[in-house]
Amino acid sequence: MREFARLEPPPSRDDVDDAEREAYDRVVERTARVHGLESIQARYFGALLNAPPLGDVLVRFGKLMREGQLRGSYTDADRELVDIVLATDLGYNGILDVHVPDALAVGVRPEAIEAVRKRREHELTEEERQIVDYSRQVVNGTVTDESHAALVERLGRRGALEFTVFVGFLLMTVRLWQALGVPDPTDEEIDELFRGLLDGSIDVPSPEARIG
């Protein structure tokens, strides 16, 4: 695990202005409930506590992004596959600590996770490849009329818009984790986690574990 000196412990509640304590408390509450205060995720949300109102908006934004399936938009499997793609393409494993387990939990094929991480994308199904390719187009600013129309065909107008926003949100999030110095597990650590989830030595979480 790569650790970075720039990620300092979060400010204490007493250091926060009265007007911002409500926002501070909401960030801490959700982090504790959904991820646990000792998790890698808690390190990220701890950094956001330097700016409680912005951190609060980001936390609520992230919660909404996880509710796509619940609201009849993109599926949890679509969403989790994007996490695998962006982590791989952007060279950062910090989010995989949660999203490899979550991807398996919501039905992403293990072969698809492996194919993206090991660059064997000919092993993806056509549906998976559409998600992978479109996500990359959003990240690189290269969405075309055709790829957008195909996504609308698949998810509907509203679903396509929400999926596009989600990809942008995840791009922002990964770059924030990297910039703020949230710990970055090695590829070997993620491989070991993946093997453990597949052979049953590590429990796959509930699909709803981090929604809410």
* Interaction site with other proteins (CB under 8 A): 4-6, 8, 47-48, 50-51, 53-54, 57-58, 60-61, 64, 71, 73, 90-92, 137-139, 141-143, 145, 148-149, 157-158, 160-162, 164-165, 167-169, 171-176, 178-181
Is 36 exposed, middle or buried, given 0-12, 13-18 or 19+ CB atoms closer than 10 A?
A: exposed
- Give whole-number Cα distances, 47 to 44, 85, 157, in Å: 5, 25, 36
Q: Which is nearer to other proteins, 150 or 204 (CB)?
A: 150
Give the shortest CB-198-to-other proteins separation in angstroms: 28
Q: Which is nearer to other proteins, 56 or 102 (CB)?
A: 56
Give the shortest CB-207-to-other proteins separation in angstroms: 21
Q: Which is nearer to other proteins, 92 or 194 (CB)?
A: 92
Give the shortest CB-142-to-other proteins separation in angstroms: 8
Give the shortest CB-149-to-other proteins separation in angstroms: 8
Give the shortest CB-5-to-other proteins separation in angstroms: 5
Q: Which is nearer to other proteins, 34 or 171 (CB)?
A: 171
Q: Which is nearer to other proteins, 142 or 186 (CB)?
A: 142
